[in-house]
Structure 1
């Protein structure tokens, strides 16, 4: 049964709410409580309201975390799946300063959005709770953490000022928890990155975030960056020097950083100085030892391995493939084109054969070299230097 609203919030009552919500934040930060208890504690202190705590990357249009109190589970799911991305208040919160506490009736009343999908299909069906008070904090990756209480317009004056006081009171503690969690998370990621690179001394290896930012690199990768022969680093972000390969690199990196399997996690390209192979692998996402990491989800890091297939043109003697694997002269010529970075189609054109003939020839080469994919074949050939 819905509780009637409280019409008066005196100093003692507000101080009690501040204490309860602050304790819930501290408990969640220390791992002895759940983040679901934080919006629940706030909402329960204001009968007839509902509260939400969520983490949104506005620049990437991605909801990282959400927790709702007094909201039907179906509406919570629909918010994560759709309404978080059409919420008209996002424009206001995206530009608001870090630490801001605001009342919707003062800065952006719900009636301004009366014709929007969000207002009619998500907010109104909840209950009479069009007014809101909210707190914005910025996470360690620039994402926005919002803590919002919705309540009826009929009690906007009483609830609004009291809720704003509570949000200002817990602002420092919540911000401190987020900062600490970010530091712990970065330390965990750094340890994982170092472990991924420790045994990668034979090729250029580096770890990047989904936005191309280089987190760590081995010495060979540093030399590769400095030479600019295959990979460039600008403003701490990496780029493949070949434009077409860079497009494929960006697409694959985006998939891997979002936890999506990528069949094209290997790419080949050539430059004026040689041919190159790039292998991309998503590192395991490790949650930092703090429940705050649920509010700040682990970042997906990607390991990049770059191998030079042909240091200088025509220096690799592929004739050994005749004795080693029984390849014909035509098949060896085909391998040489692949070592130069040609695609199957390009190799067919260079050798004056049909594409279907080239594909048949590649299958024969796979069988004779006991490989099954072009990436495996390139690695096999690269060891013949």
Structure 2
């Protein structure tokens, strides 16, 4: 395409318009450093998404006719990126939708000064080839889905200690071990409505969502949190699932990245602390140990103040003192540490730990 219209640049890009972000890109006529800066930063600031994002799938668009770049010449995208590449400031393109997170753009860019002579032939060529492009894109989609199917952990996931699940960015469950299936059936902590992983409680759900996003965005390789859900103390670990195709050539529609979520019930129901061990380990007072027991059992600061007969301010001061003595900084971190000092887990009077969804 780039050879047909001298001075033009052609590209095929797989966008996730919900973010927006680039999942895969193949282009000619763009310097690598500009391409890298677009993928890592400027894609989220591209005003052309206002136009291309609303263009029907399969329809050919022409920017100088429908949305000229000069209309957003005061934006960061134009001033810092597009203005330095005049051969990209006009163009024609076609959009092909695969699913909400996979939108393929075939773009053909050139200078604004060339638009008068280039717009018509570029649009005509795209009109004539869009069916072939659509068939090729759909074939790439099928290939990506088949490779994704080969990315499952299979028998290995059953040996993970806890409820283990492979999930997409949207929390769609692609694979779950027996413990996870039992946890879904139990429903006290985890749910799986319409094949989407859910956690009881708005705050735990949001925190788990954030963990999955950070891991799949590459911000951090592993996230660990402790949740208090009702009377349950839950540890959650999220890591990026192994990608056996990472070393293969880039694909237009790569397999969906998956996160491995492992959730383990540290305690459920009424939990008793081993006060003697806790005091010996951290030097806590009897009152601080009692407060720790209430927090471990899921009681709020307000509820603890009522049960202890002191003000909320006093409880908060005691919590700060406990943080300092135990070397923790957040309530979730404290709960995780206290879970190692439990003597009774499960129903009142039970001497055996509650199984981890077994």
TM-score range relative to shorter protein: 0.7 to 0.9
User: Residue 261 of structure 1 aligns with which residue?
Assistant: 220
* Partners of 1:101 and 1:167 within 8 A in 2: no
TM-score normalized with structure 2 length: 0.74
* Partners of 1:56 and 1:63 within 8 A in 2: yes
* Partners of 2:13 and 2:252 within 8 A in 1: yes
User: Residue 103 of structure 1 aligns with which residue?
Assistant: 62
User: Residue 199 of structure 1 aligns with which residue?
Assistant: 159
Report the more deviating stretch, 52-61 or 157-166: 157-166
* Bigger proportion of residues as helix: 1
Task: Note the C-alpha offset of 1:277.
Answer: 0.9
Aligned counterpart for 2:236 among listed residues 274, 279, 282:
279
Aligned counterpart for 1:224 among listed residues 183, 187, 191:
183
CA distance in structure 2 between the aligned counterparts of 1:121 and 1:317, rounded to whole angstroms: 59
Q: Secondary structure at the match of 1:210?
A: coil
User: Residue 235 of structure 1 aligns with which residue?
Assistant: 194
Aligned counterpart for 2:47 among listed residues 59, 84, 88:
88
- Counterparts in 2 of 1:163 and 1:350: CA distance versus 1, 3 Å: farther
Q: Secondary structure at the match of 1:229?
A: coil
CA distance in structure 2 between the aligned counterparts of 1:166 and 1:114, rounded to whole angstroms: 32
User: Residue 336 of structure 2 aligns with which residue?
Assistant: 375
User: Residue 358 of structure 1 aligns with which residue?
Assistant: 322
Instruction: Tell me, yes or no, if structure 1 residue 164 matches structure 2 residue 126.
Output: yes
CA distance in structure 2 between the aligned counterparts of 1:220 and 1:115, rounded to whole angstroms: 55
CA distance in structure 2 between the aligned counterparts of 1:249 and 1:64, rounded to whole angstroms: 23
Aligned counterpart for 1:155 among listed residues 106, 113, 117:
117
CA distance in structure 2 between the aligned counterparts of 1:132 and 1:110, rounded to whole angstroms: 10
Q: Secondary structure at the match of 1:95?
A: coil
Q: CA RMSD in A?
A: 4.0
Aligned counterpart for 2:147 among listed residues 155, 164, 185:
185
Summarize the alignment of residues 257-336 of structure 1 with structure 2, pairs less than 5 Å apart: 257-261=216-220, 265-271=224-230, 274-288=231-245, 293-314=250-271, 318=274, 330=286, 333=290, 336=293
Structure 1 unaligned regions, length at least 5: 1-41, 365-371
CA distance in structure 2 between the aligned counterparts of 1:92 and 1:326, rounded to whole angstroms: 61
Aligned counterpart for 1:136 among listed residues 84, 88, 95:
95
User: Residue 367 of structure 1 aligns with which residue?
Assistant: none
Report the more deviating stretch, 107-116 or 51-60: 107-116
Instruction: Tell me, yes or no, if structure 1 residue 245 matches structure 2 residue 207.
Output: no
The count of residues paired between Structure 1 and Structure 2 equals 331
CA distance in structure 1 between the aligned counterparts of 2:249 and 2:44, rounded to whole angstroms: 24
User: Residue 36 of structure 2 aligns with which residue?
Assistant: 77
* Bigger proportion of residues as strand: 2
1:57-116 per-residue CA deviation (whole Å, 9 max, x = no partner) reads 111122223333122334323322433223232122223333333333454444544555
Task: Note the C-alpha offset of 1:329.
Answer: 8.7
CA distance in structure 2 between the aligned counterparts of 1:224 and 1:115, rounded to whole angstroms: 53
CA distance in structure 2 between the aligned counterparts of 1:222 and 1:259, rounded to whole angstroms: 28
CA distance in structure 1 between the aligned counterparts of 2:66 and 2:95, rounded to whole angstroms: 14
